[in-house]
Each structure stands twice: as C-alpha cells, then as structure tokens.
Amino acid sequence: MRLYHSRNLLAIMLIAGLIAAGAITPALASGEGHGDTEELKYEVDLEGKTGFNLFMAEIYNNNRLLYALVVTVIMAVLGMVVAQITEQILRLIGVR
Amino acid sequence: MDFFNIYLPISGIEFNILILVSIGFCVGTLGGFFGVGGAWIVTPALNIFGFSMPFAIGTDLAHIFGKSIIATGKHSKLGNVDWRLGLFSIFGSIIGIEGGKRFVLFLEKTGNVGSVVRWVYMIFLFGLGAYMMYEYFSTMKKQKSEISPGEQQVETTSGLALKLRLINLPPRIALPTSGISGISFWIVFVIFLITGFLSGFMGVGGGFILLPALIYLVGCPTTVAVGTSLLSVCFMSGYGTFTYSLSGRTELLAAMIMLIGAAIGAQIGVLATKFIRGYSIRILFAIMIILAGISVTLKQLHSASNLEIFGILAAYVVMGAAGSMTLLIFIRLVIGQRDLRRK
C-alpha cells in the first residue's frame, strides 16, 4: 500500500476520524469536557401535547442524547426525501 | 395571518409557517447558488421574528444540515462536487472550528466577544467583497483586450493558487474533479484549518469563507468550489446539529418546516448556476457579502449606541439583500429555461 496515494491517505484518515468520533461521543453526551457550553436546564411542559409533539417533548425531557440523534437523523432523511420529491416536481413542470 | 401560526413544542412559542417557509426558500436558493449555509441570514431573521438566540442558532444549523444534503446531491449530479477534497477538508475544519470556538469562549470571559467578533466580520466581509470585485473587473478588462468579439471569456486559476501548488511538501494529493494534478496535503489542511477557525470564531457554517478560499487558494473552478463548499457545510452543520441538540437548543418542527422551503430554493439555486458564468457568480457573491458587511456595521452601531433603529435596520438589510438576490437568481433561471426551450 503506497502511503502517498491520496485514496489510501484518505481511507486512513477517515478510519482514524471514526475511531476518534466514537471515543468522543460518550464524553459529549455525559457533558464531560463540554463544560464550556452549558446544557439548557429546561423541561418542556407535556400538558396538552399529543402525537409527534408529545413524542419529541418526552425524548427531549428524558434522554438528550437520543433527542440529538433523532433530530440529526430526521433532518438528514427528510433532506434526502424532500430532494427526491422536489426533483420529480420540477421535472414534471418541465424544469431541466 | 394568525391562521398560519403553528405551536412549536420545544421552544414553547407560536410562529408563522409562511415566514418559516419563506426564510427557508431564500436561504435554500442562496445556498444552492453560492454554496453557503446562510446562517448569517437565518439566525438574525429567526431572532427578529421571536426565537431566542440559542434556539435560532441551533434550529438554523439543523435546517442547514438538511438543506445542504439536498444541494450537495444536486451539485454532485452536475459534476460540481470534489468529494476527495471535501472529505480531506473535514480534518482541518473540525480542528479549526474547535479552536475558533474556544477562542470565542476565552473572549467571552474578558467581556469583549460581541464587539471583537463583529469587527472581524466587518474587516473580513468588506475586505473580501472589495477584493473579489477588484479581481472580477481587472480580469474582465484584461480578457476583453485579449479575446476576439463573440469568443467566450474563460475562468482562469488565480496566481496565488498556482504558487501554492508549487510547494512540494509530501504527501501530495491529486484532485481530478477540480483539475488539480498535484497539491501538497498540508496546503489543503492549513487552508481548511484557517477557514475552520474563522467559522468557529464567527459562528457560521463556513460556506462564505470556504468559497473564496477554494477559488483563490486551492484554485477550484467556481462551480466546483460551490459544490465542494456545500459538502463541507453539510459535514459541519451535521456536527453542529448534533451538539446543539445535545445542549437542548434545537426546535425540530421549525427546522423541518424551513427545510420544505429550502428544498425548493436549493434546487432553483443549483440549476441557476448552469445559466450563469463562473465569474458572474463571483461578482454576485461579492455584492452579497458587502451587503452583509453593511448589516454587521449597523449591528455594531446598535451595540455602541443602544439605538433600536440600528438593530432593526441591520436585520432588514440582510433579509432585504437575501430576498433581492433570491429574486435575481430565480429570474435568471426562468430566462435560462426559456432560452433552453427555444433551442
């Protein structure tokens, strides 16, 4: 394996980055070493909420790491889904 | 108009859906066209219309993440994304952003952060805007005297980028999508380290810093710089979405609604790049950031004088600039599509 081939260098750095991310995430979640930014001490009032609003509010109150993962994944997936839909719509109205 | 109000469960406020979709549409168009995230437009807009600043920043990052995925995907189909360069950018950028953030927190302890950051913004925005305008007009003048009438003006690589490529520090990497046969990895790393630091320091996704850096320092063609910048914004905003959500500062429902507007806008912005030459994108970008600089200047005057009018003007200047540029891009796309159909 030639170290100076850019594809190999990229692969090595990506693996190192993933290992580092895996090591750092638990610390971020527990708040250790994250003392510069305070976690917002805030609880959402669940009264009157139903469906999706209640689901998100409960996760927000009980498990902030899960809330962060859900938000990140939803925005990524929604971005891809909406991209496909708008592309089809633009194609239908003749925008090339 | 109250009919269009929606209750946002996390931040506990009511917000108008049409305003959210409109903000998303404008920023989506500008993002797809210039390769920027648009935090410098969305955050003050959300703040003016009722979000607290922490929620405005976190929600904005979440919507930028979704939007940049759309725009990056579209640019990739057009062959405008240098994936290799984008992936290499992550390492320098993350380290740089973390460094910029820590420097901001250090300034916060001294009580000077707001003023210092705004002064850096003004110097950067006006300086960069003025340089890009100067470079555009001097290159156009030079090319007009060299090319025959009817011949297309071509985009050239900046002299500085060519000089940086001559630095022979191993390992060297090839970036075929950008038309670069060899450049030292360390040059790329340092460029992204510095742009990352400025992003972390100024609290933005980095697109408006990265775009000129890719054009003038790395030497990417403008459309490849736009697409690759968006890829980097995608990574950075994904990271920002996660950490801000971890700190409880994102309103998911608002981000999802803005994304709907941004999705349409991003497609329009990306398509419009096909109908405008690379150099024209640069001059429009220069105008945009000069107007942003004027907005920051007004904000600084607001901070210094405590006169509310400056604060309001600052927000409306940046939103007016965003709206006008969006309209211009949309019109250009419509004209381009009409000419394409005629052919």
B28 within 8 A of A86, measured Cβ to Cβ: no
* Nearest-neighbour CA in chain A from B130: distance (Å): 35
For the entire predicted model, the pTM comes to 0.73
Given a cut of 80, whether residue B77 has pLDDT beyond it is yes
State how far residue B175 is from chain A, nearest Cα, in angstroms.
9
Secondary-structure breakdown of chain B: helix, strand, coil percentages, each rounded to the nearest 5: 80, 5, 15
Q: Look up the ipTM and state it.
A: 0.72
A72: which residues sit within 8 A by CB, 6+ positions away?
B62, B65, B238, B241, B242, B245
Judge: B74–A83 Cβ closer than 8 Å, yes or no.
Answer: yes
Q: What is the pLDDT of residue A33?
A: 40
Q: Are B9 and A57 a contacting pair at CB < 8 A?
A: yes
Would you call B248 and A42 a contact, using CB atoms and an 8 Å cutoff? yes
Considering only CA atoms, which of B91, B25, B42, B17 is closest in space to residue B329?
A: B25
Low-confidence ranges of chain A (pLDDT < 50): 1-4, 27-40
Rounded Cα gap, residues B301 and B288, in angstroms:
20
**Residues 47 to 66 of A: which have CB under 8 A from any B CB?**
49, 53, 56-57, 60, 64-65
Q: Which residue of B has its CA nearest to A3?
A: B171
pLDDT one-digit tens code per residue, B218-232: 888 888 888 888 888
CA-based nearest residue to B28, from B71, B84, B87:
B71
Q: Where are the beta strands (DSSP E) in B185-250?
A: none
* Residue B173 main-chain phi, psi, to 5 deg: -125, 150
As a whole number of angstroms, the distance between CA B87 and CA A34 comes to 26
Is the CB of B247 less than 8 angstroms away from the CB of A38? Answer: yes
Each residue's pLDDT tens digit, B258-289: 988 888 888 888 888 888 777 777 788 888 88
Give residue B89's Cα distance to chain centre.
Answer: 16
